Amino acid sequence: MNRFSSIFGQILHLFSKRAFFETVHATQAERSAKGFSCWDQFVAMLFCQLRQAHSLREICGGPASCFGKAKHLGLHAAPTRSTLSYANEHRPWQLYEKVFYQLLGQCRTLDFGKRRFRFRNKLFSLDATVIELCASLFDWAKFRQTKGAVKLHLLLDHDGYLPVFAHITEGKTHEIKVAKTMTFPYY
């Protein structure tokens, strides 16, 4: 018998269910919750993120369309829009912050093998990307005459390839201005 797991299932295996439920208990996220668990919400929102869904209808329609496969992920039922909306509004955000830091801790402990280059000091890369915004809704985000934007500056640590610093500025701000404000550790 062949055993396989979908890519989404493999991503979910990165998150320890035991550690997740310990965090749920510590943050009391399921206090007075009935039927729709934090794990169900987490699976639905992770599905939303990976599918790049923009609305509750898209988020709820995705797991509903492949519900037979979603049962294997620990999702008891595809969420309805009202249930997911209520959970997103009333569940504490601290739960998902702690889950993020648990996963970040796992990533930092991974060994990425031998490095091809050796440097005396730690190696960082600074990169930026422009995130376009609607100029009529975000009038504070001046970028061009008819467009609004912000710029996300990320500092990447090459030991593990994880971002260590993020800074959001106006869309016109150059990376050099942000780099001049940073101080780097010496080793």
Q: What is the mean pLDDT of residues 7-17?
A: 81
Token pair of 155, please?
């500092």
For residue 56, what pLDDT is reported? 80
Q: Residue 35 pLDDT > 60, yes or no? A: yes
At residue 4, the pLDDT reads 56
Q: If you average pLDDT over residues 136-163, what whole number do you get?
A: 82
Residue 167 vs residue 59, higher pLDDT: 167
- Please say whether the beta carbons of 97 and 118 come within 8 A: no
Contact (Cβ atoms closer than 8 angstroms) between residue 126 and residue 151? no
**Euclidean distance between CA atoms 84 and 74, whole angstroms:** 16
Residues 6+ apart with CB under 8 A from 126: 153, 154, 155, 156, 175, 178, 179, 182
Give the containing element (helix H, strand E) for 68.
Answer: helix 67-70
Tokens of 75: 């999702």
Give the per-residue pLDDT at 1.
44
**6 pLDDT exceeds 50?**
yes
For the segment 122-136, what is each residue's pLDDT rounded down to a tens digit? Answer: 788 888 999 888 877
CB atoms within 10 A of CB 6: 12
The set of residues, in sequence order, having a beta carbon less than 8 Å from that of 45 and lying 6+ positions away, is: 59, 88
- Comparing 60-64, 79-83, 169-173, 180-184, the range with the smallest average pLDDT is 60-64
Which runs of E-coded beta strand occur in 16-147? 124-133
> Against a cut of 0.85, is the pTM above it?
no
Q: With cut-offs at 50, 70 and 90, classify the pLDDT of residue 3.
A: low
Kindly state the percentage of the chain with pLDDT values over 70. Answer: 83
Tokens of 84: 């997911």
Tokens 């790049």 -> residue: 52
